[in-house]
């Protein structure tokens, strides 16, 4: 099944996604794929209940659960936003046979050792390697934090600035 | 005196504290963190350093965030997990802060949190002609 949006965001499920993107895309479901959070009961509950009155189903799935979901006939017509926390996680989706053509970089914020690309994209060497690998596998990489913001050509900025 | 962290999106933490200070005067033991540009890990590190301060360990500490379910809420909950001396409230507003500054010298953390949530709710009302 095609996802309506595949997004890398270190803040995972938060206002920009549940309020901003969800009102733009009107998804049936928002999925965060993250093995660590999905296997911690209290963290899973924290994220799944975060916007319980938003009207959108929110799930935190392990990679195995995501594969199962993507294969399921029952969900094949759903509109779904898929979130991952890091560029490495996005790259791993391809190895899990989760198909996508465009990757939205919604937020990779500042922490020690990261270099600024835009005010919401900060990268280290490993991130740049992941981006190059994603590009070499034919993925279009777009920076855009919220739907009303202008799309940024991430690879162009990387080649000019990093 | 119970220390306070105000953790919000954008400039809200500065603005709401500045406004409270106009009414109540400058307050000690207030830490302002804007999540702008910061990765959750970085915010978590900053919170971790503050909640480990001796005055926080001794009196407890309140983290006031803007949006339940948003990144500030999620990071605060994760940073405070298993730290019984930390309380988190969402939906921070001016009546809450004023109640907090009024009571934080005398009350314990649980009492202060209950009364500031009450003050925050009472500060929301309507008047229609």
Q: Strand A102-107 to strand A115-118: parallel, antiparallel, or no bridges (unpaired)?
A: unpaired
Chain A residues with CB under 8 Å of a chain B CB are 10-15, 18, 42-43, 46-47, 49-51, 108-112, 114, 119-120, 122
Question: What domain count does chain A have?
Answer: 1
With an 8 Å Cβ cutoff, is B82 touching chain A?
no
- Chain A nearest CA to B74, separation (Å): 7
Q: Residue B90: closest CA among chain A residues belongs to which residue?
A: A50
pLDDT per position as a tens digit, A88-144:
999 999 999 998 999 999 999 999 999 999 999 999 999 999 999 999 999 999 999
Query: How is chain A classified by DSSP, letter by letter?
Result: ---SEEEEETT-SSHIIIIIIHHHH--SEEEEE-HHHHT-HHHHHHHHTTTTTSSSEEEEE-HHHHHHHHH-GGGTT--EEEEESSHHHHHHHHHTT---SEEEEEEB-B-TT-EEEETTEEE-HHHHHHHHHHHHTT-EEEE-SSTTSPPEEHHHHHHHH-
Region A18-22: mean pLDDT is 94
Calpha distance A2→B71 (Å, rounded): 27
Cα atoms found within 13 Å of the Cα of residue A48, Cβ hemisphere only: 15
The span from the CA of A69 to the CA of A1, in Å, is 9
Do A67 and A1 form a contact (C-beta atoms < 8 A)?
A: no
B78: Cβ contacts below 8 Å, ≥ 6 apart? A43, A46, B40, B44
Q: Which domain holds residue A68?
A: 5-161
For A109, the closest of B37, B45, B70 (CB atoms) is B37
Q: Quote the tokens at residue A158.
A: 């990387």
**Cα-atom radius of gyration of chain B, to the nearest Å?**
14
Sorting pLDDT into bands at 50, 70 and 90, what band is A2?
Answer: confident
**Measured distance CA(A50)–CA(A42) in Å, rounded:** 12
pLDDT of residue A53 exceeding 90, the answer is no
Residue A92: other Cβ atoms inside 10 A: 16
Per-residue model confidence as pLDDT tens digits over B28-87 = 999 999 999 999 999 999 999 999 999 999 999 999 999 999 999 999 999 999 899 999
At residue A51, the pLDDT reads 86
- Kindly list the domain boundaries of chain B, sorted by start residue: 4-122
What value of ipTM does the predicted structure carry? Answer: 0.88
Give the domain CATH number at A90: 3.40.35.10
CB atoms within 10 A of CB B57: 12
- Cβ under 8 Å to A: B residues 5-24: 9
> Going by C-beta distance under 8 Å and a sequence separation of 6 or more, which residues neighbour residue A47?
A12, A13, A32, A37, A58, A60, B74
- The CATH code belonging to domain B4-122 is 3.40.50.510
Q: Which two tokens stand for residue A144?
A: 């855009």
Strands A115-118 and A121-123: antiparallel
CA nearest to A18 within chain B: B70
């Amino acid at each position: 099944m095609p996802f309506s949006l595949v997004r890398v965001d270190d803040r995972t499920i938060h206002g920009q996604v549940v309020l901003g993107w969800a009102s733009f895309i009107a998804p049936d479901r928002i999925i965060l794929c993250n093995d660590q959070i999905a296997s911690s009961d209290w963290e899973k509950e924290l994220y799944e209940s975060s916007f319980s009155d938003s009207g959108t189903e929110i799930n935190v799935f392990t990679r195995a659960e995501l594969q199962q979901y993507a294969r399921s006939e029952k969900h094949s017509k759903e509109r779904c936003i898929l979130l991952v926390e890091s560029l490495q996680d996005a790259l791993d989706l391809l190895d899990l046979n989760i198909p996508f053509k465009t990757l939205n970089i919604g937020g990779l914020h500042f922490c020690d050792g990261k270099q600024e690309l835009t005010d919401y994209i900060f990268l280290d060497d490993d991130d740049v390697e992941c981006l190059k690998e994603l590009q070499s596998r034919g993925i279009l990489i777009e920076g855009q934090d919220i739907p009303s913001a202008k799309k940024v050509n991430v690879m162009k900025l990387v080649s000019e600035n990093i | 005196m119970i220390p306070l962290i105000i953790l919000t999106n954008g400039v809200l933490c500065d603005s709401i504290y500045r406004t409270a200070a106009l009414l109540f005067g400058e307050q000690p033991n207030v830490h302002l963190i804007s999540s702008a540009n910061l990765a959750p890990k970085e915010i978590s590190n900053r919170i971790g350093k503050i909640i480990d301060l001796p005055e926080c360990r001794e009196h407890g500490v309140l983290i006031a965030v803007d949006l339940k379910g948003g990144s500030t809420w999620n990071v605060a909950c994760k940073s405070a997990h298993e730290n019984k001396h930390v309380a988190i409230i969402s939906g921070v507003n001016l009546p809450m802060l004023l109640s907090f500054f009024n009571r934080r010298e005398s009350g314990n953390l649980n009492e202060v949190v209950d009364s500031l949530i009450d003050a925050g709710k009472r500060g929301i009302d309507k008047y229609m002609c």
